[in-house]
């Protein structure tokens, strides 16, 4: 409950967002806006900052997000953003410490999702092609690369002639289509294979997450975690 003349969580998060939004690209700003105004403010926006120092309030907040059907990855993203907001509040001495750092971090793993039917999988790939991102998506689904490896894949890791990717000690093979898509990539001065066209820099994990969601929306498909989709593609072949 808000106390007289004291900032609430919602007011502070709104101020923090407004003060920092110029630092982010469009995707990041939109993602943060959604997390704050769709999840944080509706749930705990009226709570006074001083009351949020009760760890149980934070834990109950995560539980309420899960009960509303929010996936584990999304809850984890809310956690990261709230932690950043409250780090600044503690730095400005609005609260004595950041309570988020005292609570157990939510796990980022998504709950296991139902696999797509083969027709749905093709719709997903078609949507990725329509959005101009089929090479990164197809490479991720067919190679077995972890997402953090995929978004930082460099041309030095990629050997098209022999159809393999070497990341550290991991040797991953490419199928014919995967190798073909990579050879058709436009030439750039970047050492990275896949760059976000809006930033001309490698995708960040949260940007890739929202890209995957955008493809699902374009294809009118239900939510499925990218790694679950990747496992399915590795099993059935694409």
pLDDT digits (tens, 9 = 90+) for 162-187: 466 665 555 677 778 888 888 888 87
CB 190 within 8 Å of CB 200: yes
Angle at 125 between CA 174 and CA 127, to 5 degrees: 145
- Let me know if residue 207 belongs to a domain: yes
Average pLDDT over residues 80-93: 91
Average pLDDT over residues 51-73: 79
pLDDT digits (tens, 9 = 90+) for 21-52: 888 777 678 888 888 998 999 999 999 988 87
Kindly state whether residues 94 and 148 are assigned to the same domain.
Answer: no
Kindly state whether residues 84 and 132 are assigned to the same domain.
Answer: no
Q: What is the pLDDT of residue 29?
A: 81
Provide the token pair at 35.
């997390």
- Let me know if residue 109 belongs to a domain: no
Is the pLDDT at 4 greater than 50, yes or no? no
Task: Tell me which residue has tokens 């050492």.
Answer: 191
Q: What is the pLDDT of residue 111?
A: 45
Kindly state whether residues 27 and 98 are assigned to the same domain.
Answer: yes
User: What is d(CA 85, CA 92) in angstroms, rounded to the nearest whole number?
Assistant: 11
Q: How many domains does the chain have?
A: 2
Q: How far is CA 79 from CA 48, 101, 190, in A?
A: 18, 10, 32
SS3 (DSSP) at 167: strand
> Which comes out higher in pLDDT, residue 67 or 191?
191
Mean residue pLDDT across the chain: 83
Is the pLDDT at 109 greater than 70, yes or no? no
Kindly state whether residues 98 and 123 are assigned to the same domain.
Answer: no
For the chain, percent of residues with pLDDT exceeding 90: 27
Banded pLDDT at 108 (limits 50, 70, 90): low
Domain span including residue 95: 9-102
Kindly state whether residues 35 and 136 are assigned to the same domain.
Answer: no
Average pLDDT over residues 144-166: 74
Kindly state whether residues 157 and 209 are assigned to the same domain.
Answer: yes
Kindly state whether residues 97 and 136 are assigned to the same domain.
Answer: no
Kindly state whether residues 164 and 71 are assigned to the same domain.
Answer: no
Q: What is the CATH number of the domain that holds 223?
A: 1.10.443.10
Kindly state whether residues 28 and 55 are assigned to the same domain.
Answer: yes
| Last residue of one domain, picked from the residues 41, 73, 102 | 102
- Let me know if residue 111 belongs to a domain: no
> Which comes out higher in pLDDT, residue 58 or 187?
58
Q: Which residues pair with 165 in a beta bridge?
A: 158, 172
Kindly state whether residues 79 and 127 are assigned to the same domain.
Answer: no
- Let me know if residue 204 belongs to a domain: yes
Kindly state whether residues 124 and 95 are assigned to the same domain.
Answer: no
- DSSP annotation of 105 reads P
**Cα 228 from chain centroid?**
15
Provide the token pair at 154.
């460099």
User: What is d(CA 17, CA 40) in angstroms, rounded to the nearest whole number?
Assistant: 12
Average pLDDT over residues 42-71: 83
Q: What is the pLDDT of residue 130?
A: 96
CB 189 within 8 Å of CB 181: no
Q: How far is CA 203 from CA 198, 211, 225, in A?
A: 10, 10, 18
User: What is d(CA 204, CA 189) in angstroms, rounded to the nearest whole number?
Assistant: 19
Q: What is the pLDDT of residue 41?
A: 93
Banded pLDDT at 216 (limits 50, 70, 90): very high
| Last residue of one domain, picked from the residues 78, 102, 126 | 102
- Let me know if residue 36 belongs to a domain: yes
| Last residue of one domain, picked from the residues 102, 128, 158 | 102
- Which of 158, 201, 156, 196 shows the shortest CA–CA distance to 180? 158
Banded pLDDT at 227 (limits 50, 70, 90): confident
Kindly state whether residues 92 and 178 are assigned to the same domain.
Answer: no
Q: What is the reported pTM?
A: 0.54
């Amino acid at each position: 409950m808000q106390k007289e003349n004291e900032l609430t969580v919602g007011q502070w998060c709104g101020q923090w967002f407004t003060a920092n939004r110029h630092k982010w690209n469009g995707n990041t700003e939109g993602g943060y806006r959604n997390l704050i105004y769709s999840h944080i403010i509706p749930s705990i926006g009226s709570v006074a900052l001083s009351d949020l120092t009760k760890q149980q309030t934070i834990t109950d907040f995560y539980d309420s997000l899960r009960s509303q059907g929010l996936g584990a990855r999304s809850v984890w993203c809310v956690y990261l953003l709230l932690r950043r907001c409250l780090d600044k509040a503690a730095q400005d001495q609005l609260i004595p410490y950041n309570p988020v750092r005292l609570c157990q971090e939510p796990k980022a793993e998504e709950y296991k999702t139902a696999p797509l039917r083969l027709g749905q999988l093709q719709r997903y790939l078609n949507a990725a092609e329509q959005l101009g991102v089929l090479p990164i998506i197809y490479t991720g689904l067919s190679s077995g690369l972890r997402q953090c490896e995929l978004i930082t894949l460099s041309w030095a890791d990629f050997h098209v002639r022999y159809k393999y990717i070497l990341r550290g000690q991991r040797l991953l093979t490419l199928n014919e289509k995967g190798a073909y898509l990579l050879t058709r990539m436009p030439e750039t001065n970047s050492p990275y294979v896949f760059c976000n066209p809006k930033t001309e820099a490698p995708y960040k994990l949260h940007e890739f997450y929202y890209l995957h969601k955008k493809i699902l929306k374009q294809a009118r498909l239900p939510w499925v975690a990218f790694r679950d989709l990747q496992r399915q593609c590795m099993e059935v072949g694409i």
